[in-house]
A and B are shown apart, each in its own frame.
Chain A
Amino acid sequence: MAAFHFELVSPEKLLFSGDVESVVVPGSDGQFTVMKDHAPVMTTMRPGVVDVNESGSKALRLFVRGGFADVSASGLTILAEQAIPLEQLNAEDIAREIGNAEEDVSDASTDDARNAAQERLDQLRELRAALGI
């Protein structure tokens, strides 16, 4: 399978840069897989898991806390708000995220903000259930 260039950056550092075969991106309108010669797309991400398939059988899974994914001719760039490799992620982190989201829901002053926060909270809860931790 053909490989393409993939970069994953968080504000603090560059987490991954290299050639991969496919990446599953948790887009805000649904998950999608990026492979070589994908049409240019720019999307926001919801909290979820980025699944990176490097050439061969090596796979890398990371938890991202939202951000942006940019697919262009030069490859895929993910600007993550925060990214943690799945094996380093523990129940505490998720619980803290959910706690923060709950606070956001109760602090929200407008309906729009409350809806956005509630959506985020639901996504996080879903994720926790999916990961089983």
Chain B
Amino acid sequence: MASLKDLRTRISSVKATQKITKAMQMVAAAKLRRAQMAAEAARPYAERMSAVLANVAGGMAGGGPALLAGNGKDQVHLLVVCTAERGLCGAFNSSIVRLAREHIHRLQGQGKTVKIICVGKKGYDQLRRQFSSQIIDLIDLRAVRQLSFGDADAIARKIIARFAEGEFDVATLFFSRFRSVIAQIPTAQQVIPAQIEGGAATSASYEYEPGEDEILETLLPRNISVQVFRALLENAASEQGARMSSMDNATRNAGEMIRKQTIVYNRTRQAQITKELIEIISGAEAL
């Protein structure tokens, strides 16, 4: 049986924890709003970009640059796994990693080679245990406060440079799509060769300046940057959403614990008073 003092310290420590989780929840809620706004603001560009790309690529019958058509091989796969830099956000990181791991096992089962680039430390920590030899790069975004297009562009450039050197044939992005505060969907998206949505919408006689190939050559790397940017923004919103709901759970749990502990504390206190009274009365009777 714990003494009264033990119970008191236990309750106060749970209360302190509850204060922390409550604060984290509120911070996550504020950050979520900002992240959601950023994700929404970036949407028009991504939409126009894919529309324009579909337009241009629709005109090219097959062929085209390697970024669009692939390099004809399907042997080496690059997985870009985007996760958070921080933990304490429920199953957010592990669900992305789980999806990536399933993907890796499937590819390895087919006899393909797998290479991994980790964006975010948490994914690296989890993947390192099993696939340390396959991880070729870790991109750390911890110093970044507000995600800008430049950050995504830098990542995309790295990926394209590796592709140009023939290090891999197919690239896939792993991130978590933000559906709502309680639903984040881990998603895999292929970026090289580019996946064109919609196909040829208008085959109107377009004029190209300078030329179709030159435009496509600048458009495709740009498209990859946009995809990476979108993935990172969705991820940021998902992370805050996941943290918010898991911290909400933690706060509620702590409340429940405090309630139970307080009952035990009160019972123990009453029992002790009763015991002392009995001692006094029986002492008086003995006289």
Q: Which of A32-59 contact B (CB under 8 A)?
A: 39-44
A19 touches B (CB below 8 Å) = no
Is there an interface contact between A27 and B226, defined as CB atoms closer than 8 Å? Answer: no
Tell me the count of chain B residues lying within 8 A, CB to CB, of chain A.
29
Q: Which residue of chain B lies nearest to A70 when distances are taken between CB atoms in the complex?
A: B52
Is there an interface contact between B226 and A42, defined as CB atoms closer than 8 Å? Answer: no
Is there an interface contact between A11 and B207, defined as CB atoms closer than 8 Å? Answer: no
Is there an interface contact between B206 and A44, defined as CB atoms closer than 8 Å? Answer: no
Query: If the complex has contacts A12-B41, A12-B149, A68-B219, are A77 and B48 also in contact, measured as CB distance less than 8 A?
Result: yes
Interface SS of A by simple majority: strand
Is there an interface contact between B149 and A44, defined as CB atoms closer than 8 Å? Answer: no
A87 touches B (CB below 8 Å) = no
Is there an interface contact between A41 and B44, defined as CB atoms closer than 8 Å? Answer: no
Is there an interface contact between A28 and B52, defined as CB atoms closer than 8 Å? Answer: no
Report A-chain residues with C-beta under 8 Å of the C-beta of B218.
Answer: 44, 68
Q: Which of B186-232 contact A (CB under 8 A)?
A: 202, 204-210, 214-215, 218-219, 222, 225-226, 229
Q: Which of A69-120 contact B (CB under 8 A)?
A: 70, 72-73, 77, 79, 82
Report A-chain residues with C-beta under 8 Å of the C-beta of B219.
Answer: 68
Q: Considering the chains assembled together, what is the distance between the CA atoms of A68 and B206 in angstroms?
A: 14
Is there an interface contact between A44 and B41, defined as CB atoms closer than 8 Å? Answer: no
Query: If the complex has contacts A11-B149, A68-B219, are A42 and B206 also in contact, measured as CB distance less than 8 A?
Result: yes
- Residue-wise, chain B 22-63 has the 8 Å CB interface mask toward A (1 for contact) of 000000000000000010011011001100100110000000
Is there an interface contact between B206 and A28, defined as CB atoms closer than 8 Å? Answer: no
Q: Considering the chains assembled together, what is the distance between the CA atoms of A70 and B52 in angstroms?
A: 7
Query: If the complex has contacts A68-B215, A73-B204, A77-B52, are A11 and B209 also in contact, measured as CB distance less than 8 A?
Result: no
Interface SS of B by simple majority: helix
A10 touches B (CB below 8 Å) = yes
Report B-chain residues with C-beta under 8 Å of the C-beta of A29.
Answer: 209-210
Is there an interface contact between A13 and B207, defined as CB atoms closer than 8 Å? Answer: no
CB distance from A47 to the nearest CB of B (A): 14
A21 touches B (CB below 8 Å) = no
Is there an interface contact between B41 and A43, defined as CB atoms closer than 8 Å? Answer: no
- Give the A-B pair count, Cβ closer than 8 A: 80
B148 touches A (CB below 8 Å) = yes
Is there an interface contact between A44 and B214, defined as CB atoms closer than 8 Å? Answer: yes
Q: Considering the chains assembled together, what is the distance between the CA atoms of A131 and B242 in angstroms?
A: 48
Partner of A40, one of B44, B45, B206, B215: B206
What are 28 inter-chain pairs, A to B, with CB distance below 8 A?
A7-B48, A10-B45, A10-B149, A11-B42, A12-B38, A12-B41, A12-B148, A12-B149, A13-B42, A13-B44, A14-B44, A27-B209, A29-B209, A40-B206, A42-B52, A42-B55, A42-B215, A43-B208, A43-B215, A44-B210, A44-B215, A68-B218, A68-B222, A70-B52, A72-B55, A79-B45, A79-B52, A82-B149
3 smallest CB-CB distances across A and B, nearest first, come from A43-B209, A13-B41, A11-B149
- Residue-wise, chain A 4-26 has the 8 Å CB interface mask toward B (1 for contact) of 00010111111000000000000
Q: Considering the chains assembled together, what is the distance between the CA atoms of A79 and B148 in angstroms?
A: 16
CB distance from B151 to the nearest CB of A (A): 11
Q: Considering the chains assembled together, what is the distance between the CA atoms of A9 and B44 in angstroms?
A: 7
Is there an interface contact between A79 and B48, defined as CB atoms closer than 8 Å? Answer: yes
Partner of A41, one of B41, B42, B209: B209
Query: If the complex has contacts A28-B209, A42-B215, are A11 and B226 also in contact, measured as CB distance less than 8 A?
Result: yes
Is there an interface contact between A40 and B205, defined as CB atoms closer than 8 Å? Answer: yes
Query: If the complex has contacts A11-B229, A12-B149, A13-B41, are A41 and B207 also in contact, measured as CB distance less than 8 A?
Result: yes
CB distance from A75 to the nearest CB of B (A): 11
Report A-chain residues with C-beta under 8 Å of the C-beta of B205.
Answer: 40
Report A-chain residues with C-beta under 8 Å of the C-beta of B38.
Answer: 12
